[in-house]
DNA sequence: CTTCTTTCTCCACATGCAGGACAAAGTTTG
DNA sequence: CAAACTTTGTCCTGCATGTGGAGAAAGAAG
């Protein structure tokens, strides 16, 4: 079960591994252009990487006007596991060393069932992916949980929506079970990493990634690195006050953003509208299902239901207020909006944009794109794979 | 005029220079404990630094149980100039290489008089300090301006309260005049650097530094480094909305924090209270001066005037609302409050604290000190010296 | 006064790396 | 098709740098 994946011996090797991860197969000559090492040094390091098995030869590159160069690539047998535990579902993906998703499973599950039950499920899903021939074992696993994490130890801390998880040694436990290195992070941070690696945020140094799911969170990226804050709770914007005497929130305060707009709040608003007969569309839907969800609102909006559209617009305005403040404060180069309710799509986006561009100063918004995430439900799992690959591809 | 200050040749030397700057005179042996270099290597680098003249011998250290070690220190003739241009006044300080303030001048001046007039004043003040024998020349100068700056070029960009400064080549011009390296930054960022170097924020990696002056700004420090944002406008929190249909602000919006609480807003509120006869204390003051200032409010509060106290409390609440949001988002390890109106002191602080601790989640506020700055009016100038010393003490 | 500790210098040795020479493999030109 | 030029990869030498030990210098402890 346990795989002894080699680790790079120095920063040069780590650099090369990451280049190969991000740019795919590459010729030795091309690598030479990228890394500013002498030919001899480069040859030595590449040879050592080939010896460790992390890297393998991959045929000849096309000629660039002279002798053809030898291609190398990351070992095609390397596998990373990306796990994204949401409030109501679990995503598990297998990737190769280039972080391309080879297989992806999604399973509904309430995180409140506790770490033991969730773990069982995650392991079962991982086993299923392995059984389907996608992987023989894993060289590393990243896992995201919907709450703050003490990052160095990989342990959730005081997660409001995850009773029973406080202090559970997620990293240690999963590492034991899978027999490979594991890193744990907040799900929102992983979404940000995913979008940074393979999504809209490629080549942006400083950006925000707002995730609207059951709750609302925000990933913060500073200089290409996720910023986690002093206690790992940075980006917890769900409980910023948007209405001085607003709705009561589960956190005990009033007027929190999450209480006014989030997957949960949207569903509640929709149900109320349906019951009060304000929306025929939503009422009809409520006849067939027990409880409405954010997806129902999204469907109603797509069908042109005015009440649903208004709910989304009002929510976008609230969200926009908060984002406007964050933009003034943080002056990001990009704002990404993602998460389960991306289905709300452009209605939401338009509403957020209007609010931000109106409220923030021109210097901060001047060239500020506000866009939807590109990776959809896979963002978290890809980010998780990226997290662990950064770890595995760094000197031991 | 031009002084050719030597620069370190490599990162080891830079490291040593900064240690000497931050810890003062030090024995070679002690440095050896701090830097993890072999004795021989350390000796070589120190010798080279002695050759350049950046570092000089400084007698013998007390014995640590054996042969006494030779002390070294930064050259006592090194001088940095720290300039802090506020909206209504200019601070100029001369420091030695350890960034101890040797001389400090303050001069009222409206920044709106434009870069040329302000420059003249700054140069006159620098000349005065030099004439008083504190410095023969400067080895570097840092300068802070009350608006966003394109940091790499050292040029203000679209500063709302500094008409005429947009695009003015501050760095270039000052460097020409003084004949030494110059760095330019936002005044709030420099205050943060000052408090980090010599104030309350020593040894804190991630913190916020809120400056309340004519306007309101916030310095952001991430991992010991100032974060400036994509266009250099990070920390511009004065125009975050605190009241949906609040007061009109100079920026064109309504309900901005600055419109409700800042040096300017406070003065305006106080005048109104005085005119309406709500405060005998403030009214009396208004008889002797033409316009009230934040200092007058501060004095009235110190004398127990209930209206002044209430103004401060209300302002603190507004400020607290915004800071609470930022704390949730950024999860800092410390919040420093400073700026001209620090005289408002503990009344303001109490009000802010109440609001933040009430509104933010326990995980973020659990161990979060909210304190007043320690350096008072010198913070900006010290931060400016620190900025340029970081530059001078880095490899060329 | 002797012994031990600490500091500092000097030196021999190892290591690591750059850069040139050269061979191998292709392309282009006449 | 041959000659000339380009690019790539390997080998090797020389230089630079840094490590760690030996030993001298300076002081503390007994």
State the average pLDDT over residues B63-71: 87
CB-CB: which of B233, B237, B322 is closest to A363? B233
Residues of B in contact with A236 (CB under 8 A): 328-329, 331, 361, 363-364
Structure confidence at residue B287 as a pLDDT band (50, 70, 90): confident
pLDDT tops 80 at residue A3: no
In B59-88, the residues whose Cβ lies within 8 Å of chain A are: none
What pLDDT shows up at residue B224? 97
What pLDDT shows up at residue A294? 85
Phi/psi of residue A37, each to 5°? -120, 155
- Strand C, nucleotides < 7 Å from a protein CB: these are 4-11, 17-21, 24-28
State the average pLDDT over residues B117-142: 96
3-state class of B214 per DSSP? coil
pLDDT tops 80 at residue A2: no
CB-CB: which of A148, A331, A367 is closest to B363? A148
Closest CA to B210 of B4, B357, B349, B309: B349
pLDDT tops 90 at residue A182: yes
d(CA A176, CA A170): 10
> In Å, what is the separation between the CA of A172 and the C1' of D18?
39
> In Å, what is the separation between the CA of B23 and the C1' of D15?
37
State the average pLDDT over residues B129-133: 95
What pLDDT shows up at residue A251? 85
Asked if residues A181 and A171 have their Cβ atoms less than 8 Å apart, the reply is no
What pLDDT shows up at residue B290? 84
Greater pLDDT, B142 or A298: B142
What pLDDT shows up at residue A202? 95
Structure confidence at residue A343 as a pLDDT band (50, 70, 90): low
3-state class of B71 per DSSP? strand
pLDDT tops 70 at residue A13: yes
DSSP of B154-185: TEE-S-TT-TT-TT--HHHHHHHHHTS-EEEE
pLDDT tops 80 at residue B354: yes
d(CA A323, CA A358): 12
Half-sphere exposure of residue A7: CA atoms within 13 angstroms, side-chain side: 14
Cβ distance A231 to B364 less than 8 Å, yes or no, reads: yes
> In Å, what is the separation between the CA of A17 and the C1' of D17?
28
Q: What is the pLDDT of residues B232-286, one digit of tens each?
A: 999 999 999 998 888 998 888 889 999 999 888 988 988 888 888 888 788 888 8
Mean predicted lDDT score pLDDT of chain B: 92
- Among all residues of chain A, which has the CA nearest to that of B358? A253
Structure token digits, residue B111: 């920044």
A43 Cβ nearer than 7 Å to chain D strand: yes
> In Å, what is the separation between the CA of A194 and the C1' of D2?
56
> In Å, what is the separation between the CA of A354 and the C1' of D17?
60
Cβ distance B329 to A361 less than 8 Å, yes or no, reads: no
Structure confidence at residue A263 as a pLDDT band (50, 70, 90): confident
Mean predicted lDDT score pLDDT of chain A: 93
What pLDDT shows up at residue A332? 98
State the average pLDDT over residues B155-175: 91
pLDDT tops 80 at residue A1: no
Residues of A in contact with B228 (CB under 8 A): 331
What pLDDT shows up at residue A28? 92
- Chain A contact for B152, CB < 8 A? no
A38 Cβ nearer than 7 Å to chain C strand: yes
Distance from CA of B216 to the nearest CA of A (A): 12
- Chain A contact for B328, CB < 8 A? yes
CB-CB: which of B233, B324, B364 is closest to A331? B233
Asked if residues A220 and A330 have their Cβ atoms less than 8 Å apart, the reply is yes
pLDDT tops 90 at residue A25: no
SS (H, E, C) B224-293: CEECCCCCCCCCCHHHCECCCCCCECCCCCECEHHHHCCHHHHHHHHHHHHHCCCCHHHHHHHHHCCCCC
Of chain A, the percentage scoring pLDDT greater than 90 comes to: 74
What pLDDT shows up at residue A341? 63
What pLDDT shows up at residue A291? 87
Structure token digits, residue B307: 């209206």
Residue B177, exposed/middle/buried by CB under 10 A (0-12, 13-18, 19+)? middle
State the average pLDDT over residues A108-124: 95
B64 Cβ nearer than 7 Å to chain C strand: yes
What pLDDT shows up at residue A163? 85
> Which residues have a Cβ under 8 Å from the Cβ of A292 and sit 6 or more positions away?
A267, A270, A271, A274, A282, A285, A286
Cβ distance A222 to B222 less than 8 Å, yes or no, reads: yes
> In Å, what is the separation between the CA of B147 and the C1' of D12?
59
State the average pLDDT over residues A229-255: 91
Asked if residues A358 and A236 have their Cβ atoms less than 8 Å apart, the reply is no
d(CA A79, CA A107): 21
For nucleotide C19, give the residue with the nearest CA to its C1'.
A38
DSSP of A231-292: SS-TT-GGG-BSSTT--B-TTS-BSBHHHHSSHHHHHHHHHHHHHTTS-HHHHHHHHHSSS-
State the average pLDDT over residues B16-36: 90
> Which residues have a Cβ under 8 Å from the Cβ of A62 and sit 6 or more positions away?
A68
Q: Which nucleotide is nearest to B66 (CA to C1')?
A: C6
For nucleotide D18, give the residue with the nearest CA to its C1'.
B41
pLDDT tops 80 at residue B2: no
Greater pLDDT, A313 or B160: A313
pLDDT tops 70 at residue A74: yes
Structure token digits, residue A324: 């406007």
pLDDT tops 70 at residue B86: yes
A29 Cβ nearer than 7 Å to chain D strand: yes
- Chain B contact for A221, CB < 8 A? no
Helix (H) or strand (E) holding A56: strand A55-60
d(CA B239, CA B259): 8
Structure confidence at residue A340 as a pLDDT band (50, 70, 90): confident
Structure confidence at residue B291 as a pLDDT band (50, 70, 90): confident
Greater pLDDT, A129 or A290: A129
- Among all residues of chain A, which has the CA nearest to that of B251? A361
What pLDDT shows up at residue B62? 87
Asked if residues A214 and A147 have their Cβ atoms less than 8 Å apart, the reply is no
Structure confidence at residue B159 as a pLDDT band (50, 70, 90): confident
- Chain B contact for A241, CB < 8 A? yes
What pLDDT shows up at residue B22? 94
Closest CA to A96 of A69, A117, A76: A76
State the average pLDDT over residues A115-132: 96
What pLDDT shows up at residue B270? 85
What pLDDT shows up at residue B342? 60
- Among all residues of chain A, which has the CA nearest to that of B219? A329
Cβ distance A363 to B231 less than 8 Å, yes or no, reads: yes
Q: Where are the alpha helices (DSSP H) in chain A?
A: 11-23, 28-35, 39-52, 115-131, 170-178, 187-198, 257-260, 263-275, 280-288, 294-302, 306-330, 345-359, 362-365, 379-392
State the average pLDDT over residues A216-233: 97
Structure token digits, residue B180: 């030494």
Structure confidence at residue B343 as a pLDDT band (50, 70, 90): low
Closest CA to B147 of B188, B182, B190, B105: B188
B37 Cβ nearer than 7 Å to chain D strand: yes
What pLDDT shows up at residue B356? 95
Asked if residues B330 and B220 have their Cβ atoms less than 8 Å apart, the reply is yes
Structure token digits, residue B11: 């990162």
Greater pLDDT, B250 or A124: A124
> In Å, what is the separation between the CA of B189 and the C1' of D17?
40
Cβ distance B239 to A148 less than 8 Å, yes or no, reads: no
Q: Which nucleotide is nearest to B29 (CA to C1')?
A: C7
Greater pLDDT, B381 or A270: B381
What pLDDT shows up at residue A346? 85
Greater pLDDT, B275 or B15: B15
d(CA B164, CA B242): 30
User: Which residues on neighbouring strands pair with residue B186, listed in sequence order?
Assistant: B145
B68 Cβ nearer than 7 Å to chain D strand: yes
Using only C-alpha atoms, what is the Rg of chain B? 23
Half-sphere exposure of residue B41: CA atoms within 13 angstroms, side-chain side: 11
Show the beta-strand stretches assigned E in A76-206. Answer: 80-85, 89-95, 101-108, 140-145, 149-150, 155-156, 182-186
The DSSP call for residue A112 is G
CB-CB: which of A333, A359, A363 is closest to B148? A363
> Rounded to two decimals, what is the model's pTM?
0.94
Count the Cβ atoms, other than its own, within 10 Å of residue A266: 26
State the average pLDDT over residues A303-331: 94
- Among all residues of chain A, which has the CA nearest to that of B368? A230
What pLDDT shows up at residue A320? 96
Cβ distance B229 to A364 less than 8 Å, yes or no, reads: yes
In B156-195, the residues whose Cβ lies within 8 Å of chain A are: 157-158, 160
Show the beta-strand stretches assigned E in chain B. Answer: 26-27, 55-60, 70-74, 80-85, 89-95, 101-108, 140-145, 149-150, 155-156, 182-186, 207-212, 216-222, 225-226, 335-338, 370-372
pLDDT tops 70 at residue B60: yes
Q: Which of residues 133-172 of B touch strand C (CB under 7 A)?
A: none
Residues of B in contact with A256 (CB under 8 A): none
What pLDDT shows up at residue B341? 63
């Amino acid at each position: 079960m346990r795989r002894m994946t080699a680790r790079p011996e120095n920063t040069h090797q780590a650099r090369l591994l990451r280049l190969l991860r991000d740019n795919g197969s590459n010729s030795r000559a091309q690598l030479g252009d990228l890394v500013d090492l002498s030919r001899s040094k480069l040859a030595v390091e590449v040879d050592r990487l080939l010896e460790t098995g992390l890297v393998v030869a991959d045929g000849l590159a096309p000629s660039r006007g002279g002798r053809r160069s030898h291609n190398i690539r990351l070992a095609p047998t390397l596998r990373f596991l990306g796990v994204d535990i949401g409030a109501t579902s679990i995503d598990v993906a297998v990737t190769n060393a280039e972080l391309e998703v080879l297989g992806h499973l999604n399973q509904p599950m309430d995180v409140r069932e506790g770490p033991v039950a969730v773990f069982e499920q995650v392991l079962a899903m991982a086993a299923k992916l392995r059984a389907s021939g996608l992987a023989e074992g894993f060289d590393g696993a990243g896992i995201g949980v919907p709450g703050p994490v003490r990052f160095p130890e990989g342990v959730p801390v005081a997660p409001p929506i995850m009773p029973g998880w406080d202090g559970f040694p997620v990293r240690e436990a999963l590492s034991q079970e899978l027999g490979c290195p594991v890193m744990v992070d907040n799900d929102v941070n992983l979404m940000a990493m995913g979008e940074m690696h393979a999504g809209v945020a490629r080549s942006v140094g400083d950006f925000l990634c707002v995730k609207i799911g059951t709750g609302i969170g925000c990933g913060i990226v500073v200089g290409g690195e996720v910023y986690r804050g002093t206690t790992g709770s940075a980006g917890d914007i769900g409980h910023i006050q948007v209405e001085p005497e607003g709705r009561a929130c589960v956190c005990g305060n009033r007027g929190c953003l999450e209480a006014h707009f989030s997957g949960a709040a949207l569903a509640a608003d929709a149900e109320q509208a349906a019951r009060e007969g304000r929306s025929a569309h939503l009422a009809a839907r409520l006849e067939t299902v027990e409880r409405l969800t954010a997806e129902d609102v999204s469907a109603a909006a797509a069908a042109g239901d005015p009440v649903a559209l208004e709910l989304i617009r009002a929510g976008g305005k609230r969200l926009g207020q908060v984002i406007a403040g964050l933009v003034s404060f943080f002056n990001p180069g990009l704002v990404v909006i993602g998460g389960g309710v991306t289905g709300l799509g452009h209605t939401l986006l338009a509403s957020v944009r209007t609010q931000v561009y109106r409220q923030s100063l021109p210097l901060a918004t001047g060239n500020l794109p506000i866009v939807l995430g590109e990776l959809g439900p896979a963002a978290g799992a890809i980010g998780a794979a990226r997290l662990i690959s950064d770890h595995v591809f760094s000197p031991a």
